Amino acid sequence: MGSSRPRIFEGLRELPVVGRALDWGMGASAASAETKKAGSRIAGLKVTESVCPYCAVGCGQLVYTRDGELVDVEGNPRSPINQGTLCPKGAASRQLVQQPGRLTKIKYRRPYATEWEELDLETAMDMIAERMIAAREDHWEERDEQGWKVDRTRGFAHLGGATLDNEENYLLKKLYTAMGAIQIENQARI
Amino acid sequence: MTEIAIDRPESRRMGFFTDTTVCIGCKACEVACKQWNDLPADGAVFRKTSSYDHTGSLSASTWRHVRFVEQTEPVPLPDLPAYGGGNGGHGEVDLVAAAEAHGVPQMDRWLFMSDVCKHCTNAGCLDACPTGALIRTEFETVIVQPDVCNGCGYCVPSCPFGVINRDPYDGRAAKCTLCYDRLEDGLEPACAKSCPTDSILFGPYDELVETAKGRVLALHERGVTDAYLYGAGDEPGEQLAGELGAFFLLTAPPERFGLPAQAESPAQENGPVATAAGLAAAALGLAAAVGAFARAHRR
Amino acid sequence: MSHASGPPPEDRIREDHRRAVEGAPDGGRDTTPAVGRRGGPALWRRAVEGSPVALARQAFKDARWSYLYKDDTSYRVRNGADANERIQAAARRMRGSTEIPEGVDANGPFINAPVWTWEVPAYFFLGGVATGSSFVALAADLAGDERSAAIARKVTIAAIGPGAPLLVLDLGRPARFLNMMRIFKPRSAMNAGAWCLMAFSTAGGAAVAADVLGRRRVAKVLGAQTALLGTYLGSYTGVLLASTAVPIWARSRLFLPPIFVCTAVATGAATNRLVLAATGMPSGHPTRDALGTIETVAMGAELALSSFNEKRLGQLADVLEHGRAGRLFEFARWAVRAGLMLRFTRGRFAWEHHVASGLYLAGGLAFRFAWIEAGKASAGDDEAVARMARGKATVKDRLRDGRTTARVRTSARHPGRDARAARVYADAVRRLSLAIEGVLRRG
Amino acid sequence: MEAHPVGSRWAMKARERGAKIIHVDPHYSRTSAISDMHVPIRAGSDIAFLGGLIRHIIETESYFREYVVNYTNAATIVNADYQGPEELEGVFSGFDSGSGTYDRSSWMYEGGEVASAAGQREHSTQAFSDRTGAGMMTGNVRSDETLSDPRCIFQIMKRHYARYTPEMVERICGISEEQFLRVAETLIANSGRERTTMLAYAVGWTQHSSGVQMIRAGSIVQLLLGNIGRPGGGIMAMRGHASIQGSSDIPTLYEILPGYLPMPRANDDDLTLAGYVSGGGSQRGWWSHFDNYIVSLLKAWFGDAATPENGFGFPWLPKISGNHSHYPTMLRAFEGKLDGLLVMGQNPAVGSANAGLQRRALGAMKWLVVRDLAEVETANFWTEAPEDIGTEVFLMPAASHVEKEGHFTNTQRLLQWRDKAVDPPGDARSELHFTHHIAKRVMAHYEDSEDPKDWPLVNLHWPYSEHGSEQEPVVEEVLKEINGYDLETGELVPGFAQLKADGTTSSGCWIYSGCFADGVNQTRRRDPGDLDAPGGSVSPEWGWAWPANRRILYNRASADPDGKPWSERKKYVWWDEEREQWTGYDVPDFPVGKRPDYTAPDDAEGMDAISGDDPFIMMADGRAWLYSPSGLLDGPLPAHYEPYESPVPNHLYPKMGANPAAITWTHAANPIVPPGDDEYPIIASTFRLTEHHTAGPMSRNLPWLSELQPEMFVEIDPQLAAERGIEDGEWMTVVSPRAEIEARAKVTSRVQPLRMGDRVMHQVCMPWHWGAYTSSPQGVTGDAANDLIAISGDPNVSIQESKAFRCDVRAGRRDRATTERQAGTQDVESDHPPEEPKKLSQTDQADFR
């Protein structure tokens, strides 16, 4: 292996005393106690199987957690789709969850206000439900201008769904349709 | 090898074989490496004339780096008038004249190469390190022990491949460890695991070299006669730093990828020669000084 | 210090986040952003010692070195009998020639520039002064000038004193300075230098102590020992630079250590000359004369070696002429030339020689800084790095073939100057250099 | 490859197995780099290229005859009244130039019948039955298996594409004849019994005013070559969002109900369930079970309140009456007619066409709810001028993919379950939580209402239990409801075959029925099987694919008419004579016991009308349609039309410019470059980058991704750059009538000026991931490419034309503080209501020379 090394060096290496000196500092004495104990930080952690949230290829992910916090997200080697691999976005998905600037509280902006305010979850949910009900009532159409029955509201609309779960889309469509809302759209059309 | 600092006799040499002919330039390796090793972003800088490469080079916090090389070939110009040109809405717009003045090189190849620490057999950084922070592991990889490194910076210019660097904030030197912690638990390094097209192969070194040789021959058979191995399979005397633990299959001269055509551990290549010259000169100097004094005092 | 100032951006992000959540009701989960940490890999500790990694197969079974491209693909063929030769030939075609193929740009960066700041050349300078002083001390002792020897030993210690702090200051992690001493590693010039520095300082310090205690003989022996250690202390700095991948340093491997030794001897002599003069040594004292000779010869030799080396390096040496390094070199050269001129005015006035010594010191200091700067510039010269790498093939090939008739690349650079003289001169240098290399390689 | 790197894993494997990869794209991307051939095409000229391929395949008789004759409608005879663009100067028969629409009756098969259109408007389920051929009387249809009858589809196609010659392709697309022929020969050489060719596209391909017809043209090529329903064949839509397939199957879309059942459409008679079923159901083929699916859906939604007597609640469903898609809705909002909008995980302020108009529309609403992981442009658009914008905004933190359980449907129709790994932080909640608790509030509000309009809310079946301190609804209960129950036994149904129309079964989405078969969450199955075994790559035990866990649709076509595999190499599903059933690596997409030699009697109904060699069971005639007698609104065969903003005339149909049936929304804030306008001489197209995701919120805020592609840039060829004084890495400005944006110039030979016949044409290409805001200090921002693009629509699906538009470029940064160029604020009145989009006026395209 070391045959390309200058021969003078190689020759010296074989001498009993000098040779030892030449390896000094590169053998066992250099390794620290920490290094000798090294191991992967996910050993012994809880793992959860998930699916990448970015594009539609559907790569399997393994999510390692410790005490309810993400430690590592990597590809699931068992998935026949990606066999453990991930693209840069998928590989960054731990940072997506733990991103700087991640929202954890509701931000509320009054009409014409210049700043955000905070709002607690229950209040916000009440306010939104009120507004949806009001928009439904204010814009209820039983028949359209031709007199055809429509039983609907065009007072509010919905956008988005391609990043959500099917269960979520299902409940959204179910609730909106029951409310008579029809302007329900998502990314499939862009 | 007596250089090995961790004693686990059952271990084999492990390495990377990065095959640029199946690389798609997605940079998954860069991100997977940062994710696993918890490295920060190097700062978002738009680089000119570097194609899609905006991280620039390997650094203390970028341990995998994908280079993009746009290789063009000049072609004769189409001698044709342009739509919307000639006398378009912008007065002097004359795309035909422009076409004549500036050729349009045709795209030939867009080459991607995921660069990484080479884990040299004769490692310049390892030879230079005065603290023993850099060691050779039982997998014959070269790692920096972060709890030992004191940031002397000597490894930085000692690497003939420009891999290791000192972090400007933290002060310690850092580079690819071939995911030493993962290897300890029998896991594949993060970059190789993530690579969507298995352009980065990880495995026992001997097997990898065999695979790589077969790959070169397969490419030759397919007409890709430019294919060659960078860092493995060479004749003694022509090896790069005594063979590279992480070697590459390239299809263009190494300079296109920022790799030297030849490399050796500088300490091994130059150290003995320089030391001899230095000691000789110093002895001469000392003798001269003594002589000068003796002469002056004799007078 | 070569540190970036202030905390790194990701620490600021974490700090902002900490402040934002402080005092807020406990939201349950820790939401500290994952923006990475610098200086090394993440924690190398198993979460549970002795536990395997869940859903991962042991012993690299998930690592797929032949997972995607199996036998159903044409990814690889079976290696035939001449496989090795063909592989080697393929590599030789692409990277075996001595010139970069036409039309191929050197797409850098190739190597990283040294990160050292002013502390390192300052230490090199002081180390040089100390080395030179230790030589002076020994020479003075041997010549019987005990007073000068004692002073020189003090100068040695005074010069080397700030050396270690400077080195500590340059470290990325100064608190870990002592890690240099955790091993003994002769292959690392810096490790050997650190040990040498310690031994030199200890011996030098003990010599001074012996002087103070009036133990002349002990001081003499310790002084001699110091000078002996000085032969390495004064040259290893050159070795340290030459043992890198930086073209201008690496290709000067036969010259840098001698150049550094010259500077060391010259600046050591100059310092002692000034110190002795300041402590009342009269003009015309043989020691002062000797020191004057030493500093002049050493500085002259340095200048000659430098020019010699620069010519020999050809295009690589461009970095010695441009930018900061170029200006420093220019200053150093002029300082030395001016010093030499003053020296040869034959001492009409006493101060002329003092000024000359001062100029040598300034020149010596500038040389040290210039070499570090030149290294930084050279590392960034992609073309130079690439060509040096290609050039290695040349040296090896020629050594193997036993041919020594090298093409002279330097001549192309100064077509206007005396091309023939340059060729002869450079060829002589090349021959010498190759001969030394050959001898050393044959071991 | 560029947008789906892990998808390219398999493309690379195929390449190493000898496959040839051809990449057709205006610019040279990372996909081109690993392809055997890159074919630069002028953006928007795809049908001319594909039409050229069709012509070449027919002229050289390279089609897979046995497949074409038996499995497609090539032999079917079409009405004598049908005329194509060859005869009618660019339009098909039945065109009404006044309305810009087609009367499609003349396109029918001879002897076939379309469900009669009621009145001026479409019948409630017309579009749906059109698409499926439901209601067609195939029994009387004539065919000529020699393919020689001048009125058979094969001959019609041959005439239709006769002028799509290689020279024409070069002139229109900018692809050299030589390269075109190489592509054609490669496709032909790699199709047939032994080999298959796959056509994969990322969904940018659909973003054209003839988007649907482009995909159709691709399928015609594939059908002629015999590449549908076979392993290694097909047309693969590489979709952009994790569950965009799922959100179409279980739609948050206006015109469909779960399982692609049509949304009821207002009509002059008050629509009843029976009328809806008779319009949508089919007498033949799989859609003959239509009534089972809608009744089961209504039972899932209204529970016990849905009875046969009240039409299972059907009469109370809201009805659509026009185009209520994203763009018209935002245009209505722009006019102040929308009170509020809920946005979940979408970013229209960056990601939708004419993004500047989108932002102003947001500012014209009373309230806005945005749910996302971080603050996005759509939530803080008001910061541009807070004192002028009265929109009340609720920005709510959402749970990420690891913070909730549930399943995605990925692009291959695969349902994959995600387990929950951690709790969402702070007030972040899943959308399921949000919807559930809003629903509870709304239902409580209407609890005692007697008003008939509130019937659906009063009777809404909402049985989900909650768990944990956050009161999250139990997700699997929702999945079970989607799968469906046998209401008599209370058991989960094993599949959609068990659904009934009598109200004794329920299913929230019939095509997903079976995803909880046997009480097991089938989407959570994680056994990849042995990938190396023959057919092992199907991995049927990994997740669950709809319908009925079939991985390749119409896979009956992988066997020849006798039920034998076309070749050993390409065997997939075949008839096992011993066991008297279809078998194979996949679940056969065919009645499992139907013999290949079964011939349907003329009077057969339902699935009995499908013969044993008719693989396309969702079509009424069991055949794949080379020619669509109904279903498409802009022609039975794809014809080349220029993009709206094409700078060149239509060389094939000089009287036509763009698709005559395409729609647009004429608006001062949405101007379109008229043909012949020299002010915008350059073609622009947009693309995606590997390092970023869609409109950016999932990537631009992430330091690890931001550093990889830090700034908005535009790729421009060196010639144009030199001409305009634009330097690599420096600022440049792109101008369209809608906006001007600034970006870094990437001067590269990867974009080439196109040689088109006798002229040269320049294109610029740009990614569209950047927007004005990032929530992270290490995130990146930039101008949005979508600011440049006009709102417009394909006639069939209202997708905008964002991959081919016109612009001009100059060096330097933009002059204005904002990107919007023609504010259009003085005159916001459009000349027609947004929900009735205008067809492109023919006068707009006249006299392009």
Q: Across the interface, do B83 and D8 touch by the CB < 8 Å criterion?
A: no
CA neighbor of A62 nearest in space, from A99, A93, A40, A88: A93
User: Are residues B54 and B191 located together in one domain of the fold?
Assistant: yes
Q: Across the interface, do D395 and A60 touch by the CB < 8 Å criterion?
A: no
Burial class (CB in 10 A: 0-12, 13-18, 19+), B242: buried
β-strand D367-372 against D392-397: which pairing, if any?
Answer: parallel
Distance CA D166, CA D178 (A): 8
Residues in B closer than 8 angstroms to D708, CB to CB, are: 27, 30-31, 54-55
Distance CA D397, CA D403 (A): 12
Burial class (CB in 10 A: 0-12, 13-18, 19+), D47: buried
Domain coverage including residue B282: 265-299
Per-residue pLDDT in tens (0 to 9) along chain B, 299 residues: 467 888 888 899 999 999 999 999 999 999 999 999 999 998 889 998 889 999 999 999 999 999 999 988 765 444 444 444 433 333 334 444 444 444 567 788 999 999 999 999 999 999 999 999 999 999 999 999 999 999 999 999 999 999 999 999 999 999 999 999 999 999 999 999 999 999 999 999 999 999 999 999 999 999 999 999 999 999 888 899 999 999 999 999 999 999 999 999 999 888 888 999 999 999 999 999 999 999 888 86
User: Are residues B275 and B223 located together in one domain of the fold?
Assistant: no
D-chain residue closest to C21, CA distance: D426
Residues in D closer than 8 angstroms to B42, CB to CB, are: 707
- pLDDT classification of D268: cutoffs 50, 70, 90: confident
CA neighbor of C187 nearest in space, from B263, B236, B260, A13: A13
Q: Which residue has the tokens 């603290």?
A: B131
* Residue-wise DSSP of A77-89: TT-TTTTT---HH
B-chain residue closest to A75, CA distance: B194
Residues in B closer than 8 angstroms to C44, CB to CB, are: 180-181
In the predicted model, what is the mean pLDDT of residues D746-756? 87
Residue D134 has pLDDT above 80, yes or no: no
* Residue-wise DSSP of A99-162: -TTB--SEEEE-TT-SS-EEE-HHHHHHHHHHHHHHHHHHTEEEE-TTS-EEEEE-SEEEE--T
CB pairs under 8 A between C and D: 41
- Which amino acid is present at D566? W
Asked if the structure places residue D217 within a domain, the reply is yes
Q: Are C74 and D17 in contact (CB under 8 A)?
A: yes
Q: Is A46-97 assigned to CATH 3.30.56.10?
A: no
Q: Across the interface, do C243 and B164 touch by the CB < 8 Å criterion?
A: no
Q: For residue C65, what pLDDT is reported?
A: 59
Q: Is D471 left (phi over 0), alpha (psi -120 to 50) or beta?
A: left
Residues in C closer than 8 angstroms to B176, CB to CB, are: none
Residues in D closer than 8 angstroms to C72, CB to CB, are: 17
* Those residues with Cβ within 8 angstroms of residue C209's Cβ, 6 or more apart along the chain or in another chain: none
Residues in A closer than 8 angstroms to B4, CB to CB, are: 27
> Which of residues A77 and B73 earns the better pLDDT score?
A77
Q: Across the interface, do A53 and D242 touch by the CB < 8 Å criterion?
A: yes
Asked if the structure places residue B54 within a domain, the reply is yes
**Of B53-62, D270-279, D547-556, D784-793, where does mean pLDDT reach its minimum?**
D270-279
CA distance to B261, C260, C363, D531, per residue, from C356 (Å)? 46, 19, 10, 83
Residue-averaged pLDDT of chain A: 88
Q: Across the interface, do D16 and C69 touch by the CB < 8 Å criterion?
A: yes
Residues in C closer than 8 angstroms to A3, CB to CB, are: none
Q: Across the interface, do D243 and A165 touch by the CB < 8 Å criterion?
A: yes
* Residue-wise DSSP of D684-719: EEEE--TT--TTSTTTTT-HHHHTTS-S-EEEE-HH
Q: For residue D188, what pLDDT is reported?
A: 97
- DSSP code at position D821: -
Residue-averaged pLDDT of chain D: 90
Q: Across the interface, do A151 and D430 touch by the CB < 8 Å criterion?
A: no
Asked if the structure places residue B7 within a domain, the reply is no
Tokens of D425: 């932080």
**Of A15-29, B254-268, D47-61, where does mean pLDDT reach its minimum?**
A15-29
Tokens of C66: 């032949």
Distance from CA of A163 to the nearest CA of B (A): 22
Pick C90's closest partner by Cβ from B164, B227, B277.
B227
Q: Across the interface, do D435 and A175 touch by the CB < 8 Å criterion?
A: yes
Pick D778's closest partner by Cβ from C9, C27, C29.
C9
Residue C201 has pLDDT above 50, yes or no: yes
- pLDDT classification of D820: cutoffs 50, 70, 90: confident
Tokens of D238: 């590489």
Q: Across the interface, do B96 and D706 touch by the CB < 8 Å criterion?
A: no
> What is the per-residue pLDDT across D501-516, written as a single tens digit (0 to 9) for each?
999 999 999 999 999 9
- Which residue(s) pair with C431 in the sheet? none
- Which residue(s) pair with D686 in the sheet? D766
User: Are residues B167 and B291 located together in one domain of the fold?
Assistant: no
Asked if the C-beta of C277 comes within 8 angstroms of chain B's C-beta atoms, the answer is no
3-state secondary structure D345-378: CCCHHHHCCCHHHHHHHHCCCCEEEEEECECCHH
> Which of residues C105 and D481 earns the better pLDDT score?
D481
User: Are residues B165 and B233 located together in one domain of the fold?
Assistant: yes
Number of domains in chain B: 2
Q: For residue D130, what pLDDT is reported?
A: 54
User: Are residues B48 and B141 located together in one domain of the fold?
Assistant: yes
Residues in C closer than 8 angstroms to B223, CB to CB, are: none
Distance CA A26, CA B129 (A): 9
CA neighbor of C386 nearest in space, from B257, B269, B266, B235: B257
> What is the per-residue pLDDT across A137-175, written as a single tens digit (0 to 9) for each?
999 999 988 889 999 999 999 999 999 999 999 999 999
Distance CA C253, CA C249 (A): 6
Q: Across the interface, do A25 and C62 touch by the CB < 8 Å criterion?
A: no
Distance from CA of D689 to the nearest CA of A (A): 11
Q: Across the interface, do D426 and C27 touch by the CB < 8 Å criterion?
A: yes
Tokens of D510: 């019939």
Residues in C closer than 8 angstroms to A42, CB to CB, are: 47, 53-54
Residues 410-469 of chain D whose Cβ lies under 8 A from any Cβ of chain B: none
Q: What percent of chain D has pLDDT over 90?
A: 75
Distance CA B114, CA B53 (A): 11
Residue C264 has pLDDT above 60, yes or no: yes
Q: Are D207 and D80 in contact (CB under 8 A)?
A: no
Domain coverage including residue D729: 322-398+647-849
* Those residues with Cβ within 8 angstroms of residue C346's Cβ, 6 or more apart along the chain or in another chain: none
Q: For residue B254, what pLDDT is reported?
A: 95
Residues 39-68 of chain B whose Cβ lies under 8 A from any Cβ of chain C: 39-41, 43, 56-57, 60-61, 67
CA neighbor of A109 nearest in space, from D337, D375, D400, D425: D375
User: Are residues B232 and B248 located together in one domain of the fold?
Assistant: yes
User: Are residues B155 and B192 located together in one domain of the fold?
Assistant: yes
User: Are residues B280 and B155 located together in one domain of the fold?
Assistant: no
- pLDDT classification of D101: cutoffs 50, 70, 90: confident
Delimit the domains of chain A by residue range: 2-36, 46-97, 106-189
Q: Which CATH architecture has domain C119-383?
A: Up-down Bundle (1.20)
Q: Are B231 and B244 in contact (CB under 8 A)?
A: yes
- Which residue(s) pair with D340 in the sheet? A156, D367
CATH of the domain at B131: 3.30.70.20
> What is the per-residue pLDDT across D10-27, written as a single tens digit (0 to 9) for each?
999 999 999 999 999 998
> What is the per-residue pLDDT across D225-250, written as a single tens digit (0 to 9) for each?
999 999 999 999 999 999 999 999 99
β-strand D505-506 against D485-486: which pairing, if any?
Answer: antiparallel
> What is the per-residue pLDDT across C389-438, written as a single tens digit (0 to 9) for each?
987 654 444 444 333 333 333 323 333 334 455 455 555 655 665 666 56
* Dihedral over alpha carbons D467, D473, D474, D479 (to 10 degrees): 180
Q: Quick one: which H or E segment has residue C292?
A: helix C286-313
